[in-house]
Amino acid sequence: MTKEEKKEKELLHKIVQGNMLAMKEFYDSNSGYLAAVCSRYISNQEDIKDVLQESFIKIFKAIHKFEYKGKGSLRAWSARIVVNQSLNHIKENEKLQLTTLPSWDLPDQAEDIEPDFEEIPTDIIMDMIQSLPPGYRTVFNLFIFENKTHKEIASILKISENTSASQFHRAKALLVKEIELYRLKIKHYERSMAR
Amino acid sequence: MNDQWQDNLRNRMEHHEEPAPDGLWESIEQLVPAGNKQRLWSQNIIPLVAAAAAIALLFIVLYNTNNEEKVEYTQQTITEEVQPRERIKEAPKNEPQVLIASRQSSNNSDYVVVSDNIEDNISTYETISETISKKNTLLEIETTKDFTIKPSIVNNSNDQLFASSSIAQRQESSKWQTNVSMSNMPSGSAQTYTGYGTFALQETVEEQYDFLSKYTRQEVYTNVEHDQPITFGLTLRYNLSQKWDITSGLTYSMLKSQLRSGGDNYHYDDRQTLHYIGVPLNIAYNFWQSNNLSSYISAGTHVQKNIAGTLSSNYYIDEQLELNTKEKVLSNKLQWSVNSAIGVEYRVSDFIGIYAEPGIDYYFKNSSELETIYKERPFSFNLRLGVRLNINQ
């Protein structure tokens, strides 16, 4: 066991005992990452705060059940709780607006062109994801960041596999557009600066 | 197909952090189970503790007042919406009742307030507060004894335990709540949520997304309103007996809904109109009849099919109309419902009557994509109007 792992395990033990300082330490080192995870799913700042608050409470209450499996496992486990809380929130509060489109109705290029996020700052990527309609966004996040298959997404969101796949393709197509727009904007800006 | 971009994106975002919302830790700190607080592992313990405390206290009270009559105690479920303290009212002076324990709920916490010495003017209340994360079984009980409140003499109300000279009982909560709240919103349904919203199923979705993404990334919200549906019918009545009859026929319903989605300076309005044709089957009981008028109660089922629909969207920037799009909407799914109504029928002739039936409907879920009042508020008020032909006079 590395030194880091030992430290993390010790922290874990203190949190289980109800040590407030340990909880604060955990919060300080993970809140930024977990806020980012939550913000992928939810766009409204107040809702993000509510969901994160619920998530942290849940994490601290359930942490005695967590089995330590090495460095990063606690963070991954916490992120999963945040994702679940976010999904619950979406199901309760937002309309997913899932559109069922026949596959031939998709823009042709969506199959071929892939969004190229190279050189795009991560906070802009975050903005782009957040600006997707909730249905597209949720499916996209589950597919990309949670590594879920469309079959799994379908059962999580209670939609059909086809719907999941079409939401994902549309999200991808919109992101391609967003990226184009962003690059254009940058070019524009550079040109105006050069003048 | 190349999935490299997916891995790249994942890796890029793996280390991305967002600033945690202001005041987040402070609110977590208050709710977190800290070391010296006692933990309980089952939700069931709360009512048990409350009941045990209440019963124990009752004995003390009864002992103190030297009374040996029987104690009645019944447990009721708690209505969560009711705010703490709202229920406590002054009792009429001629019938003093002393509050022994009351259970109060607010959104996140549940209190049992117990007074343990009713003879003093000042008594100590013990509050047991539990913080509930609804789907979590782990609960936390915090016991504090450091504040005092005057004992309240209270009137009959919900979820409180009383000692009225000798008999303590928990009052039943009102059974009419649902009905009251129903009658408070007779005019359709309205809802607001954050984020984008749309009625659109097909091409309009793209249009609306483009519209919004062009103008802003600021917070957007959506208002949805569904008008109260009215159903017109041409129905036949078959008399089974003097009092009982069966009706069926054809109905037409129009459902109108409005939606506004967007931010402050720009938004779009969706207007959705749906037309339904339906076949009802009801059984009615006539409880009053005069020459031309009859009143009855009826119950039955109704199956409806969406036969046409339109969606018109207007796009506004700074209240200036920019664009209008139209699309046809249609659902193939059947919409089933059950209903109960009270009706009045006026006989125009021996065979023809006109009727009005205000009633309550329950619409079953169908997997249709359309946003309708049936979906939004499956249990709702409905008004049916129509012409009825009477057969087998």
Task: Using the structure block, give the residue that is written with the tokens 């107040």.
Answer: A46
> Residue B181: helix, strand or coil by DSSP?
helix
Q: Are the C-beta atoms of B114 and B53 separated by less than 8 Å? A: yes
B114 to chain A, minimum CA–CA distance in Å? 27
B212 to chain A, minimum CA–CA distance in Å? 9
Model's pTM, two decimal places? 0.42
Q: Which among A20, A125, A133 is the nearest to B12, CB-wise?
A: A125
Among chain B residues, CA nearest to A101 = B202
Handedness of CA B3, B9, B15, B17 (dihedral sign): negative
pLDDT at B251: 92
Q: Which among B9, B133, B197 is the nearest to A97, CB-wise?
A: B197
DSSP sequence for chain A: --HHHHHHHHHHHHHHTT-HHHHHHHHHHHHHHHHHHHHHH---HHHHHHHHHHHHHHHHHHGGGPPP-STTHHHHHHHHHHHHHHHHHHHHHS--------GGGS-THHHH-----TT--HHHHHHHHHTS-HHHHHHHHHHHTS---HHHHHHHHT--HHHHHHHHHHHHHHHHHHHHHHHHHHHHHHHHHH-
CATH 3.60.150.10 describes domain A103-194: no
Question: In chain B, what residues touch A20 (CB-CB under 8 Å)?
Answer: 29, 32, 34-35
Among chain B residues, CA nearest to A130 = B217
Interface of B with A in 177-236 (CB under 8 A): 193-198, 200-202, 205, 209, 212-213, 217, 219, 222
Q: Are the C-beta atoms of B188 and B225 separated by less than 8 Å? A: yes
Q: In this structure, what token pair is assigned to residue A60?
A: 């601290």
Amino acid at A71: K
For residues A166 and B369, which has the higher predicted lDDT (pLDDT)?
A166
Question: Is B137 an 8 Å CB contact of chain A?
Answer: no
Alpha carbons B388 and B236: distance in angstroms, whole number = 5
The arithmetic mean of pLDDT across residues A88-100, rounded, is 69
Q: Are the C-beta atoms of B359 and B382 separated by less than 8 Å? A: yes
How far is the CA of A50 from the CAs of A46, A183, B32, B238, in angstroms? 6, 34, 14, 58
Question: Is B12 an 8 Å CB contact of chain A?
Answer: yes
List the end-to-end C-alpha distance of chain A, in Å, as a whole number.
59
Interface of B with A in 16-55 (CB under 8 A): 16-21, 23-25, 27-29, 31-37
pLDDT at B212: 62
Q: What is the pLDDT of residues A172-194, one digit of tens each?
A: 888 888 888 888 778 777 777 76
* Domains in chain A: boundaries: 3-93, 103-194
For residue B41, is it left (φ>0), alpha (ψ between -120 and 50) or beta?
alpha
pLDDT at B75: 38
Of A59-63, A82-86, A167-171, B141-145, the least confident: B141-145
B103 to chain A, minimum CA–CA distance in Å? 24
B92, burial (CB in 10 Å: exposed 0-12, middle 13-18, buried 19+): exposed
Among chain B residues, CA nearest to A178 = B213
Q: What is the pLDDT of residues A96-125, one digit of tens each?
A: 655 544 444 444 444 567 888 888 888 889
Bridge pairing between strands B379-391 and B230-239: parallel
One digit per residue, the tens of pLDDT, for chain B of length 393 reads: 557 888 889 888 888 899 899 889 988 888 876 543 433 333 344 445 455 555 555 555 444 444 433 333 333 333 333 344 333 334 444 444 444 444 444 444 444 444 443 333 333 333 333 333 333 333 333 333 333 333 333 333 344 443 333 223 333 333 322 222 222 233 466 777 666 567 766 566 666 666 665 555 556 677 888 888 888 989 888 888 888 989 999 999 999 999 887 777 777 888 999 999 999 999 999 998 888 899 999 999 999 999 999 988 888 877 778 778 888 888 888 999 999 999 999 988 888 899 999 999 999 988 777 888 888 888 888 888 999 988 765
Question: In chain B, what residues touch A85 (CB-CB under 8 Å)?
Answer: none
Question: What is the residue-averaged pLDDT of chain A?
Answer: 84
Binary contact (A133, B209; C-beta < 8 A): yes
Q: Are the C-beta atoms of B247 and B294 separated by less than 8 Å? A: no
How far is the CA of B269 from the CAs of B19, B259, B317, in angstroms? 34, 6, 11
- Count CA within 13 A, CB hemisphere, residue A195: 6
B373, burial (CB in 10 Å: exposed 0-12, middle 13-18, buried 19+): buried
Alpha carbons A54 and A60: distance in angstroms, whole number = 10
A57 to chain B, minimum CA–CA distance in Å? 6
List the end-to-end C-alpha distance of chain B, in Å, as a whole number.
73
pLDDT at B103: 47
pLDDT at A139: 93
How far is the CA of A68 from the CAs of A23, A65, A82, A84, in angstroms? 16, 10, 18, 20
DSSP sequence for B105-141: E-SSEEEEEEE--SSSSSEEEEEEEEE--TT---EEE
Q: Do domains A3-93 and A103-194 have the same CATH topology?
A: no
Rg (CA), chain A: 20
Alpha carbons A25 and B47: distance in angstroms, whole number = 35
| pLDDT value at A69 more than 80 | yes
pLDDT at B342: 94
Q: Which among B28, B194, B369 is the nearest to A53, CB-wise?
A: B28
B99, burial (CB in 10 Å: exposed 0-12, middle 13-18, buried 19+): buried
Binary contact (A122, B12; C-beta < 8 A): yes
Domain A3-93: top CATH class: mainly alpha
The separation between CA A133 and the C-alpha centre of its own chain, rounded to angstroms, equals: 14
Optimal mutation site among A31, A56, A97, interface B, most CBs of chain B within 10 A: A97
Of B197, B228, B275, whose CA–CA distance to B377 is shortest? B228
| pLDDT value at A48 more than 90 | yes
H/E element, B374? helix B373-376
ipTM score of complex: 0.85
